[in-house]
Structure 1
Amino acid sequence: MSVRTMHTDDVRELLHKVAGFDQAEGQERVKQILHRVMHDLFQIVEDFDVTPEELWRAVYYVGELGQSGEAALVAPGLGIDRYLDIRMDAEDEQAGRDGGTPRTIEGPLYVAGAPLKDGYDRMDDGTDTQAETMILSGQVTDENGQPLPGAVVDIWHADSKGAYSYFDPSQSDYNLRRRIRTDSDGRYKVRSIIPSGYGCPPDGPTQKLLSLVGRHGQRPAHIHFFISRPGYKHLTTQINLSDDDYTYDDFAFATRGELVRDAVRIDDPETIRANGLEVPYKEVRFDVQLVATEDESLQTRHERPRAQEETNS
């Protein structure tokens, strides 16, 4: 069937009313965006001869996403988060504020209000006995390599099974979540565990959609960061560990070559003891460069729904 209706007065009038253009109330920006979204959706139905059965399956799929809580999971899988990063990178370049450590996606699993410590802390609660110990450290500097004391390095990652505290009720509060304030040399350090990657729930709506286009839903082992300091552009980023099968095949498109890091096994007894350990561990280093800005709106993370409000600083 090749029926063409988008050019008709009936469809134009329908879209006009759907968007509320015939109403004095409401927000003009929302009206404009809704009109464009619905126009493009109707155009897709026409161009691909989408059947009523297909369209209603799509409608109920949206409902399934809401019921499962996976809307924030399918978004990165569809490249939305990466596309926003591409736009923000382009905006920074155009404004002359590019440079520094690259950004990459936040993901849906941040929890605000993790304990704030000076210089060093242990992130894991010791219950993940199957995990390898990790020492993660680095230095925060400006673009000229000058140390930035007092920067806050907010770190979160999964356990050895790919699960995150708060979302996994078996874990203790703020397990594998810490904020570290850098010392006088701009350095931070944590003891934690090597995280595992994870996959989308195999029976969930995200994997259902990915399977329809022949894609997997796997993420490599990774560690998330927010890094902030007054006078500098807030950085949202993450590192991927280099030895994961999915390091360069991340369903969420978060991998950037500059952000891949090795987890180096440390066997030297003296070094092990110096870190307060008794057995070999893996060392991960991540140095960060922040970009100076006087724009206060760029010095904090953007607003979006997150697990809970931050109550301390």
Structure 2
Amino acid sequence: MENKKVQYNIINIIVIVLAFLFLGNLMLKNKDIISSFSTINTKIEIVIVGSITFCVIHILKMLRFYLILLEEKLELKRFIRIYIKTAFVNITLPVKSGELFRFYCYSNETNNYKIGLLSILVERFFDTCALLLFLLPFEMFFRNKLSYITLSLLVFVIIVFIIYNVFNPIYEYVNRFFILNINSKKSLKVLEILENQNEWYLYTKKLIKGRFSLIFFLSFLAWTLEYFFVYFISKALELQFTLDTFNTYINSVFRGIVDKVLGIYTVLGAIVFGITMLGVYAISFKKRGNSSVK
């Protein structure tokens, strides 16, 4: 148990150091954007409202993920610390590769890799559904075509939705068929695989039971506020803001291409979470030090 904790801490340190290196690289790549942003006579109200919007977005995302893991009864303070740490890594590392670290952390926290994986997949599903409510109307009615990013997200949502809804009746039928009609080692193996898949299904159902509407609403609200946050960044950079600006921003996120708006969002977001994370852990270590002295 102690070895597992040491291994967990070592991996955390390595990933966080790597994230800070990526942050430094991002700041170097976007130094022209950052310097131009700092020299612009930005209205103080834009900065204040934009900062509040950014904080509220992540409070909503944190609340959404806590709702998904509600039945795991995680300690709220510890959950917040993990969220801040994984959000910093996720924002900093390219092409959402930080999701692997998030999976590792929450699997360790719940002592169940299935919960760790499924909670992230459930969150991504609802997040994608809400995002598509913005992307689909714009691309269909204004661009008259779907980008391959939007199309990929739509295919992901459709596949997950179909699998989730058809699995239970298929499971019940196949399970009954093998039990009543076949008696062999192969049939027992099939039943074993089937039961394992049903266990994953039941875990997924447990994560959203009675609260899927609230999870979706929080996802939609978070994307609505992110739309306005992109607007505030555009205004701060003195860029023209149109419906296409948000669409370009979203496509840039998934393609790993950093434009001006995404560059500012990534750097500022990573700095905010990085400083917050260091502050939270400094306070935590100080409390531990005081406890050991006593």
TM-score normalised by structure 2 residue count = 0.23
Higher strand share: 1
Higher helix share: 2
TM-score normalised by structure 1 residue count = 0.22
Identify the structure with bigger relative contact order (alpha carbons < 8 Å, sequence gap 6+): 2
